[in-house]
Structure 1
Amino acid sequence: MISVIVAVAQNNVIGRDNKLLWHISEDLKRFKKITSNKKMIMGRKTFESLPGVLPNREHIVVTRDENYNVNSDQVTIIHDLNLLLEKYLNCEDEIFVIGGAEIYKQLLPYAQKLYLTKIGTSFDGDTYFPEVNYNNYKTEYISEQLTDEKNGLNYTFIDLTRI
């Protein structure tokens, strides 16, 4: 089963210059808890923006670059989205799409679950999360509005399941 996990600003921005625009400690903890011991699908630029190979997770990197290589047994390189869908679309395990924008756009139609961190502020960015038709999902969980102690950003955790 394919799921999407993303932190998104009020104006659908998810980043700028291949970087996150905010640091919300609880969001990072939630990301780690949800994705630990799971597979994560990401584009090459998203993979390269990580601080390194994240522990206890298998990284599936989608790139058109046939020569792209990563020396880690935790990283699988896939060059064809159709092969990725063949392999993981009907998988019983939950596989997480973690970005970037193009990968979200291509795989969102297949996502059965969305794990959103909705940030109550707009940001100036160059990377956007695709529009979601929320009528296709039911809310499984919504947190109260939370506030990050360090930067004062308001945010809400929302888990949605495709109807």
Structure 2
Amino acid sequence: MTIPLILVVAVAKNGAIGRDNQLLWRLRTDLKRFRELTMGKPMIMGRKTYQSIGKPLPGRETIVLTRDGGFAASGVHIAHSWDEAVAKGEGLAGEMGADAVAVVGGAEIYRMALPHVETIYLTEVATAPEGDAFFPPVDRTRFREVARISHPKSPDDEHPFTFIDFQRRR
């Protein structure tokens, strides 16, 4: 039995997800959701995403997918291909008793993951900042929307945003 892959992403109205390897907004509510969705699971991320975070996140196992054969970081698992990252994720999920492996960025890793993920947990942020990393529009012939919750701008969240969950069509 394979462990399902989930994808967790926050996307601006123009598709931007980052600039200069940084987030484009401050949304505490979204960070809380990210933590809830990924806690207790292995996470696959690219090297640049890992370097922007700067450390393994507690309560999760981090798999860094990189072409850099010399890349090393303490407390993380390194993979050099998509298949190797997924295999490590499935193995770790089994050890951890996790129900999924989370794909958490960046843009290139999301592109590799989209043909394989079961669920997309997308936060649509009501802004259109300049970005240099983008997420493609969700292909609604392949995914159907199963949940949508809107949130207003607040002291903890600098923009209004909407949580949208997509499930792969069968």
- TM-score normalised according to structure 2 size: 0.87
Please give the secondary structure, in 1, of the residue aligned with 2:62: strand
Aligned with residue 150 of structure 2, among 128, 144, 161: 144
Question: What is the aligned-residue RMSD (CA, Å)?
Answer: 2.0
For structure 2, the 5+ residue unaligned runs are none
- Amino acid paired to 2:71: Y
**Alignment match, 1:94:** 100
- 2:48 paired with 1:42: no
**Alignment match, 2:66:** 63
- 2:38 paired with 1:32: no
- Amino acid paired to 1:84: A
- 2:114 paired with 1:132: no
Distance in 2 (CA, whole Å) between partners of 1:138 and 1:150 is 30
- Amino acid paired to 2:35: K
Q: Percent identity?
A: 41
Please state how far the C-alpha of 1:32 moved relative to its aligned partner: 0.5
Please state how far the C-alpha of 1:67 moved relative to its aligned partner: 1.6
Cα distance, 1:29–1:109 mapped onto 2, change above 3 Å:
same
Please state how far the C-alpha of 1:86 moved relative to its aligned partner: 4.7
For structure 1, the 5+ residue unaligned runs are none
- Amino acid paired to 2:110: Y
Cα distance, 1:128–1:149 mapped onto 2, change above 3 Å:
same
**Alignment match, 2:121:** 115
4+ long deviations beyond 3 Å: 85-89
- TM-score normalised according to structure 1 size: 0.90
Please state how far the C-alpha of 1:149 moved relative to its aligned partner: 2.5
- Residues matched between the structures, number: 161
